[in-house]
């Protein structure tokens, strides 16, 4: 068996906030892809008539359905903020370590503030 060295990222990089923000950006993107399928299924049920659509709405009104809907809203919120950060980094700005950490903190802080605001404003209608 060939004893090749491990990839350097396993030995050099530490798991930090910037890496966490980036990984969560990818994870929320995957979750939003699933959410898109749920939206397409909703449109399919709507095209089938009132009764199938009402049954689907009743399903989404269950505690699990509410958890899915709130989770997708939070994923969209986080993914948007993190996407703005990624676009900023793609311009070549903010790549220094301190600036990258600060922008990651802004994403997390902004997400927490906006998520609380979302839950307070729409809490009763979720």
Give me the CATH code for the 16-125 domain, please: 1.20.1300.10
Q: Kindly tell me if the per-residue pLDDT of 79 is higher than 90.
A: yes
| Position 11 confidence tier, pLDDT thresholds 50, 70, 90 | low
CA nearest to 22, candidates 82, 110, 71 = 82
Percent of the chain with pLDDT over 70: 89
Q: Kindly tell me if the per-residue pLDDT of 123 is higher than 80.
A: no
Q: Kindly tell me if the per-residue pLDDT of 125 is higher than 80.
A: no
Q: Kindly tell me if the per-residue pLDDT of 9 is higher than 90.
A: no
- pTM reported for the whole predicted model: 0.84
What pLDDT was estimated at residue 58? 96
Region of residue 7 (left: phi > 0; alpha: psi -120 to 50; beta: else)? beta
Token pair of 63, please?
């505690």
Q: Kindly tell me if the per-residue pLDDT of 13 is higher than 80.
A: no
Cβ contacts of 38 within 8 Å, gap of 6 or more:
68, 72
């Amino acid at each position: 068996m060939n004893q090749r060295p491990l990839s350097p990222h396993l030995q050099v990089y530490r798991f930090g906030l910037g890496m966490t923000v980036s990984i969560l950006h990818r994870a929320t993107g995957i979750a939003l892809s699933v959410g898109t399928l749920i939206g397409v299924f909703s449109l399919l049920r709507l095209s089938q008539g009132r009764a199938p659509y009402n049954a689907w709405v009743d399903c989404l009104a269950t505690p699990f359905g509410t958890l899915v809907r709130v989770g997708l809203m939070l994923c969209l919120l986080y993914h948007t903020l993190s996407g703005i950060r990624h676009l900023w980094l793609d311009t070549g700005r903010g790549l220094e370590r301190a600036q990258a950490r600060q922008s990651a903190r802004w994403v997390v802080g902004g997400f927490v503030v906006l998520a609380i605001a979302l839950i307070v404003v729409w809490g009763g209608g979720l």
